[in-house]
Homo-oligomer: A and B are copies of this chain.
Amino acid sequence: MAKKIITISREFGSGGRFIGEEVAKKLGISYYDKNIISRIAEKSGLSPEYIQESAELSPKKGLLAYALAGRDITGKSVEDMVYEAQRKVILELADREPCVIIGRNADYILKDRDDVLNVFIHGDMSEKTERIMRLYHIEEKEAVKMMADTDKRRMTNYSFYTDQKWGKASNYTLCLNSSQLGYDRCEKIIVECSK
């Protein structure tokens, strides 16, 4: 069965976002990444700035923060409200049109559909570090820390909301090492597998 929706989870620095954008261009379909923040903001009633900070990339949120976060009168934490809005936005987008969705646990949120290709992109430490140093103009030590922190937050967020392990092969249709295979080949494989 052809896959209408492509979700891309990725290690920080692996080029997963870039690869996803290229795949969307090649297939002529929509690409959703940071551009869904305004939709989530609208749906949750929270500010886009807060959503940006709060969701997947929150710099200070760990599992403990989820437990200690402020809760409204329904018992929901603000993070839960953001997540619920994010979930609804992703379900609506998938209903509306073929698209590529980056991160945000979209693989899990769309698990009841059978037209979704779930991809995980990872890479070799040395190449990911170099890429982050180049993109963010930072030193190696800082890049390594940024990578570890970001992936830890993604992992924590994913485990918390899905009860699955981030980066475990069996959660995805396809997992690719972009350093060893090259970005071009990753794009080709994903396009081919969506048919």
* Contacts from A to B (Cβ < 8 Å): 11, 117, 120, 122, 167-170, 172-177, 180-181, 185, 189, 192-193
Q: Look across to chain B and name the residue whose beta carbon is closest to the beta carbon of A9.
A: B169
> Bound complex: CA of A192 vs CA of B168, how far in Å?
24
Besides the contacts A167-B169, A169-B172, A174-B176, what 13 more A-B pairs have beta carbons closer than 8 Å? A11-B170, A117-B180, A120-B169, A120-B175, A167-B168, A169-B169, A169-B175, A170-B177, A172-B177, A173-B176, A173-B180, A181-B193, A185-B192
Q: Are B174 and A177 in contact (CB under 8 A)?
A: yes
A-B contact pairs, 14 of them (CB 8 A): A120-B175, A122-B170, A167-B168, A167-B169, A168-B168, A172-B175, A172-B177, A173-B176, A173-B180, A173-B181, A174-B181, A181-B193, A185-B192, A189-B189
> Bound complex: CA of A122 vs CA of B175, how far in Å?
11
A192 partner residues in chain B, CB cutoff 8 A: 185, 189
Count of chain copies: 2
Q: Are A174 and B175 in contact (CB under 8 A)?
A: yes
A172 partner residues in chain B, CB cutoff 8 A: 169, 175, 177
A181 partner residues in chain B, CB cutoff 8 A: 173-174, 193
Q: Are B177 and A173 in contact (CB under 8 A)?
A: yes
> Bound complex: CA of A175 vs CA of B169, how far in Å?
6
Among B117, B122, B170, which residue has its beta carbon within 8 angstroms of that of A167?
B170
> Bound complex: CA of A167 vs CA of B170, how far in Å?
7
> Bound complex: CA of A160 vs CA of B177, how far in Å?
24
Among B117, B169, B180, B185, which residue has its beta carbon within 8 angstroms of that of A168?
B169
